[in-house]
Amino acid sequence: MEVSHQELFDFLEAKYGQYNSPEFIETDPISVPHRFKRKEDIEIAAFLTATISWGNRMSIVKDAEKLIDRMDLSPYEFILHAGRRETEQFESFYHRTFNGTDCIFFLKSLKNIYIHHGGLESLFIPGRKNGIKDALCFFRSVFLETDHLKRSEKHLADPGKGASAKRLLMFLRWMVRDDKRGVDFGLWKKIQPSALLCPLDVHSGNVARKLGLLKRKQNDWKAVEELTENLRKFDPQDPVKYDFALFGLGVFERF
């Protein structure tokens, strides 16, 4: 698709403005953490929702709500105080290949993180100076220090091995960006939006290639870096805001 830089900028800005709107929250997974006001409740609900965010969007929202409902609508208090009896109820939970065993491990790991590591936000700070990739790798290493089955590791992407880490990057977008439009939360202030990388999936990848923003054929970490670098040409301070445009064009407009 041959367009000038200015034409593409205007197009991306228009689509970003169209889709970065509270009216789209209801059908999006981000609607689940929007049910809460407390910082810790929001970030826990957001992380768990992002973790199961693949497949049909309505199924994602439905299953994420079921997961949070089982935590008595108090994710933070549940994580801190739930014992074996309380966590056993999640044995029957599943979303696609994310099953009860995976879920219980994630809950136990979150408990370890909040009790011994200062919470989710704290884990993304040590590696941030070397880039989001290092931050994600450090987070993953701490998350996996809790006893778990090998099968559960597939639900926590490893950018160190080339994974696009779409769900983790989406979670970071939710937590870091704050453009006062009522969608992303902007709860985490120690990571700048300029450092974020754009979540990449089939929809956004296809749109990005049609727009000439991505040449790499695989949707892997190198593609994430390439796409984000090209988006920084349009807004170096907030490149991932165009995730709204790419996703909206792919999902809602079948661009």
pLDDT by residue (tens digit) across 107-131?
999 999 999 999 999 999 855 567 8
Q: Is the pLDDT assigned to residue 1 strictly greater than 60?
A: no
Q: Is the pLDDT assigned to residue 253 strictly greater than 80?
A: yes
pLDDT interval class at 100 (50, 70, 90): very high
- Dihedral sign from CA coordinates of 43, 44, 50, 56: negative
Instruction: Give 37-66 pLDDT, tens digit per residue.
Output: 999 999 999 999 999 999 999 999 999 999
Instruction: Give 132-145 pLDDT, tens digit per residue.
Output: 999 999 999 999 99
Domain that holds residue 234: 5-251
Q: What is the pLDDT of residue 237?
A: 97
pLDDT interval class at 196 (50, 70, 90): very high
Q: Is the pLDDT assigned to residue 147 strictly greater than 80?
A: yes
Between vectors from CA 181 to CA 175 and to CA 184, what angle results, nearest 5°? 15
Q: Is the pLDDT assigned to residue 178 strictly greater than 60?
A: yes
Proportion of the chain above pLDDT 70, given as a percent: 98
Q: What is the pLDDT of residue 127?
A: 54
Cβ distance 151 to 102 under 8 Å? Answer: yes
Q: What is the mean pLDDT of residues 27-33?
A: 95
pLDDT interval class at 2 (50, 70, 90): low
Cβ distance 169 to 197 under 8 Å? Answer: yes
Which of 255, 208, 243 is closest to 24 using CA atoms?
243
Which of 217, 221, 175 is closest to 198 using CA atoms?
221
Looking at the 3D structure of the chain, how many domains does it have? 1
Q: What is the pLDDT of residue 126?
A: 58
**How much is the pTM?**
0.96
pLDDT interval class at 240 (50, 70, 90): very high
Q: What is the mean pLDDT of residues 71-87?
A: 95
Helix ranges restricted to H, the chain: 5-19, 39-51, 57-69, 75-81, 84-88, 100-116, 120-123, 132-143, 166-176, 202-210, 221-232, 243-251
